[in-house]
């Protein structure tokens, strides 16, 4: 049976180690992509997950990759092989899924862009384990048991590390990061919809700075 390569696992680890906070970004206006991500980068965050929840996601990834070469840019909410391929084609440096299928896990073994697969149950982690995956997105974190669930997973899955996402807020992120099996935390609180609508990029930078101070304080 094939397993995920050491190179892919190291790449995912590099992404998770590059920033304790991973903004989950949904682009509704294509003109927002670069200034929004630049604002986050100026606030100290060097990893971005741009979701494919809107029609602008793929073009946003392309634009940000071109404009901000020092930022890790990944594609989120990838749910099919077609989307995986499209995200790779526009330069996504990593892929994040909300859940797992055998087809996605198998495809990612030889894909150009490494996969951070989404899991919420022990069975899904075991499926990933069978193919050599040890780095996972835990989603939806708050609904699926939050900190308590991650503590429970640490027993049977000693090698697994997680990036929990889903319902996490600025004031709860630090509790997740205190766990030894959590490397980073993802969230949309870093890009408040009202600030984005106003194109208030300064407040986005301030939110990034303050959030990083919270988790490192």
Query: Are 119 and 87 in contact, with CB atoms under 8 Å apart?
Result: no
49 flagged as catalytic: yes
55 Cβ contact list (under 8 Å, min separation 6): none
137 flagged as catalytic: yes
SS3 content of the chain, % helix, strand, coil (to 5): 45, 15, 40
CA distance 83 to 80: 5
The string of DSSP codes covering 145-200 is THHHHHHHHTTT-TT-EEEEBSS--TTTHHHHHTSTTB--EEESTTS-HHHHHTT-
Q: Which residue has the tokens 């594609």?
A: 75
Q: Which of 3, 10, 42, 49 is catalytic?
A: 49
Task: Tell me whether strands 72-76 and 47-51 are parallel, antiparallel or unpaired.
Answer: parallel
Which residue, 120, 124, 89, 122, is CA-closest to 104?
124
Q: Which residues are the active-site residues?
A: 49, 137
């Amino acid at each position: 049976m094939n397993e995920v390569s050491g190179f892919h696992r190291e790449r995912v680890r590099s992404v998770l180690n590059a920033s304790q906070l991973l903004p989950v970004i949904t682009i509704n206006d294509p003109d927002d992509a670069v200034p929004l991500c630049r604002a986050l980068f100026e606030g100290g965050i060097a990893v971005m997950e741009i979701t494919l929840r809107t029609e602008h996601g793929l073009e946003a990834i392309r634009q940000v990759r071109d404009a901000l070469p020092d930022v890790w840019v990944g594609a989120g909410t990838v749910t099919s092989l077609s989307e995986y391929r499209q995200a790779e084609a526009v330069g996504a440096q990593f892929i994040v899924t909300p859940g797992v299928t055998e087809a996605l896990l198998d495809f990612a073994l030889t894909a150009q862009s490494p996969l951070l697969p989404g899991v919420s149950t022990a069975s899904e982690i075991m499926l990933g384990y069978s193919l050599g995956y040890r780095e996972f997105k835990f989603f939806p974190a708050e609904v699926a048991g939050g900190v308590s669930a991650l503590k429970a997973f640490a027993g049977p899955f000693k090698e697994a590390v997680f990036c929990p996402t889903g319902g996490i807020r600025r004031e709860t992120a630090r509790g997740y990061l205190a766990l030894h099996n959590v490397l980073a935390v993802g969230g949309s609180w870093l890009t408040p919809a009202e600030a984005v609508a106003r194109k208030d990029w300064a407040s986005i930078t301030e939110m990034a700075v303050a959030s990083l101070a919270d988790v490192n304080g």
